[in-house]
Amino acid sequence: MDNIMVIGAAGQIGSELVVELRKIYGSDHVFTTDIKQPPPDIMEGGPFQILDVMDDKQLIHFIIRNKINQIYHLAAVLSGNAEKLPTQAWKINMDSLMNILEVAKMVDEVKKIFWPSSIAVFGPTTPRINTPQLTIQEPITVYGISKLAGERWCDYYFNKYGVDVRSLRYPGLISYKTEPGGGTTDYAVEIFYEAIRQGKYECFLGEGTTLPMLFMPDAIKATIQLMEAERSRLTIRSSYNLGGMSITPDQVHQEIRKHIPGFTIRYNPDFRQAIADSWPHSVDDTIARVDWGVEQTYDLKKMTEIMLKEIQNKLNS
């Protein structure tokens, strides 16, 4: 059985991915790390250690000591936060990835790496509807530039050193367990919390801003599917396009109103509007479908029902 390391286990993706990985590999084989404490089930359900991926010496010791075979490197500064501290965000996003790629190159036991990219690798000159896998990429955010550079490094390490690195260009991710922090698509999580807590929400994007979004169970399934795919089936070593539902704040508002009729929304776009306006409306993930069979199961209606129910339970407990 492989030993798996998850970096960023306290985050929006990590806190849910770990649960699924433990089901597959067994709790003792999933080594979770972060610079902050994760939710109690992650802390108590298997090995956890505070670890900073920027510290390359600590990182390599951890990997060798625990005989790690697969690494999921999920730590990153997201688009909104990165615009506030551009040079720091660049350093964190790039240096952490380079540390992982170097370890994978040096340590033979490390067989596979997962690193998330994002729709942020696209920019205002990219075709916005059904954005193809291969297209113009001129991102205008620090986050997007770091993800695009990261993709090129992943491809380079695969071709030059045979490092088996796998990646997805996540759209906005919607989930109830752990809230995201500092992203442009975060409104699509906040809106559910505020609908339940306050019955009203002030949205930092305009009502008609269309972005591709994915419900977390679909994102986790796609991530594990990609990591379990036969190496020979993978034709993309930068990062696979991953689709989702194309939705606007207004559509989410209307869907929530079916459950909470009095829910009101006010639109007050901030600096994140320009970021959202530079990203695709929808993404073509045909290559991922053909290569390893990705598919989405949740639409806005089904997701809204689950989000409201689960957040209500969480706030009650």
Of the pair 189, 300, the CB lying nearest ligand AKB is at: 189
Residues in 242-301 at the binding interface with ligand AKB, rule: CB under 6 A: none
Of the pair 15, 69, the CB lying nearest ligand AKB is at: 15
Among 3, 69, 167, 184, contact with ligand AKB (rule: CB under 6 A): 184
Closest of 104, 67, 75 to residue 10, by C-alpha: 75
Per DSSP, which regions of the chain are E strands? 4-7, 30-34, 48-50, 70-73, 112-114, 117-118, 165-166, 168-170, 172-174, 200-203, 211-215, 240-241, 245-247, 264-267
Task: Name the DSSP letter for residue 225.
Answer: H
The helix (H) or strand (E) run that includes residue 144 is: helix 142-161
Closest of 97, 87, 136, 116 to residue 17, by C-alpha: 116
Is 185 a residue that touches ligand AKB (CB under 6 A)?
Answer: yes
Q: Which residue is nearest to ligand AKB (CB)?
A: 183
Among 15, 33, 70, 79, contact with ligand AKB (rule: CB under 6 A): 79
Catalytic residue among 143, 176, 187, 298: 143
Q: Residue 169, SS3?
A: strand
Residues in 107-146 at the binding interface with ligand AKB, rule: CB under 6 A: 118-120, 143
- For residues 175, 178, 179 and 183, what is the CA-based torsion angle, rounded to 10 degrees? -80
Among 170, 187, 192, 240, contact with ligand AKB (rule: CB under 6 A): 170
Q: Which two tokens stand for residue 33?
A: 């790390």
CA 133 – CA 285 distance, rounded (Å): 7
The interface region with ligand AKB, picked from 41-49, 183-191, 252-260, 281-289 by CB under 6 A, is 183-191
CA 153 – CA 142 distance, rounded (Å): 16
Query: Residue 290 CB, nearest distance to ligand AKB (Å)?
Result: 24
Query: Residue 161 CB, nearest distance to ligand AKB (Å)?
Result: 27
Tell me if residue 25 is catalytic.
Answer: no
Among 11, 14, 38, 172, contact with ligand AKB (rule: CB under 6 A): 172
Residues designated catalytic: 143
Sites of contact with ligand AKB (CB under 6 A): 78-79, 118-120, 143, 170, 172, 183-185
